[in-house]
Amino acid sequence: MNESIVIFWFRRDLRLDDNRGLNAALEHHKNVLPIFIYDSDILGELEADDPRVSFIHQQLESMNKTLKKYNTSIKTIHGRPEEVFRELMREYHITDVYLNRDYEPYARNRDRVISEIVSEKGIKMHDFKDQVVFEQSEIVKPDGTPYTVFTPYKKKWISHFLTNPIQKSPLLNTHHFYPSDFVPLTLGEIGFSPSPVRVPDYTLDVVQAYEKQRNFPAVEGTSYLSTHLRFGTVSIRDLFSQMAVDSTFASELIWREFFMQILHHFPRVVDANFKSGYDGIQWRNDPAEFEAWCQGKTGYPIVDAGMNQLNQTGLMHNRVRMITASFLCKHLLIDWRWGEAYFASKLLDYDLSANNGNWQWVAGTGCDSAPYFRIFNPTEQQKKFDPDFEYIERWNPNWLGKVPIVDHSFARKRALETYAQGIQK
């Protein structure tokens, strides 16, 4: 048994800068051992060249290069977290475990189990708010109940933000790391291979023009921040320090926290309609039509361009995400859960709360959602947001002459009738 150590467990916070849990561990303890667990339960559901795993691996390598200067390293382990912690407790004399909170149902259950395992040995577990500015019940109505409409939530959020300035964490106390030189696991050792798909670097250069450019998919008007926020390679506090809190760009970041607190307060939304009155909708769920949508073969140029971009890059422009999702739910009458699952399997920036919230928003089944009778016309959307076919030519160059799998007017009428019959007042 070695000398006493403290564990810091990296998860959705793959950075050294302004990392709340890591800073707290180093501030209060010596011999802080950073670890990362390649969770076999999660990895077992992914393709062998999943780009998200490659991105995590690259980020850990980058962090290790920095940590080498401080005579330490991240211990990487592959397995089920509860088994990993039992092994760590046999190998080391652990006094405390530090981590940043994760709000998804799987993570909350996992962390509860780990807390029980370590507490049996008298080990204290400390968790911190890190991936959001405000969490759980920090932004609620005066009566303590959660907001389910975005605009009043956003107003309260901004008011709270302006009266409670957020502080970045101090510089790391690098003298308190546990001295180590662990050899990190390779992708091959965890059953993966390098992905040809790369996560693009993010930029904040687009913030000023975001309001004007954000709806035009051919324009480089997006930040590519979403994947970095998903894996915590950037600090949310650092981002808000660089922009006006009432900007359109900041509003998108507040939407992220809105959906997170919806998932916290209403965990049933993972696989159920937020509006239970929509449970009676009779989805058609045609497998052949779903496959055509997945493969970008609907015959609608902008829909197919979006799906091709997703399949090839793991990303899709936000405006086009709405168009493709609306087409699936409204034109094809396929259950939003089918589309949500497909996006989850492909998106580099997949985040359960945002993916679920946005799909339910489009389907009309979610909180503060678009009304069910709002049905995007893909052709009109293309004329408005990709008038010169630049985006379509880039991602769907053979679009000419393709026959749509369903007529818009017919599909719109069918959707309105199906929703009207299925919704319980």
Average pLDDT over every residue of 53-81:
97
Q: Please say if the pLDDT value at position 53 is more than 70.
A: yes
Share of the chain above pLDDT 70, in %: 99
- Distance, C-alpha 250 to centroid of its chain: 17
Average pLDDT over every residue of 404-423:
97
pLDDT tens digits, residue range 294-312? 999 999 999 999 999 999 9
Q: What is the pLDDT of residue 2?
A: 61
Q: Please say if the pLDDT value at position 370 is more than 90.
A: no
Q: How many CB atoms lie within 10 A of CB 65?
A: 10
pLDDT tens digits, residue range 128-150? 999 999 998 999 999 999 999 99
pLDDT tens digits, residue range 333-358? 999 999 999 999 999 999 999 999 99
The CA dihedral of 103, 108, 112, 113, to the nearest 10 degrees, is -140
Q: Please say if the pLDDT value at position 313 is more than 60.
A: yes
Q: Please say if the pLDDT value at position 120 is more than 80.
A: yes
Average pLDDT over every residue of 214-233:
95
Q: Please say if the pLDDT value at position 417 is more than 90.
A: yes
Share of the chain above pLDDT 90, in %: 93
What gap in Å lies between CA 238 and CA 92, rounded to an integer?
35
CB 227 within 8 A of CB 199: yes
Q: Please say if the pLDDT value at position 219 is more than 60.
A: yes
Q: What is the pLDDT of residue 33?
A: 98
The pLDDT-based confidence of 164 (bands split at 50, 70, 90) is confident
Q: What is the pLDDT of residue 371?
A: 84
CB 27 within 8 A of CB 33: no
Measured CA to CA in angstroms, residue 396 lies from 130, 138, 308 at distances of 40, 44, 7
pLDDT tens digits, residue range 24-43? 999 999 999 999 999 999 99
Phi, psi of 421 (to 5 degrees): -75, -30
Q: What is the pLDDT of residue 170?
A: 82
Domains of the chain and any CATH numbers: 1-130 (3.40.50.620), 132-166+223-262 (no CATH), 268-422 (1.10.579.10)
pLDDT tens digits, residue range 79-103? 999 999 999 999 999 999 999 999 9
Q: Please say if the pLDDT value at position 1 is more than 70.
A: no
- 8-state DSSP, 276: G
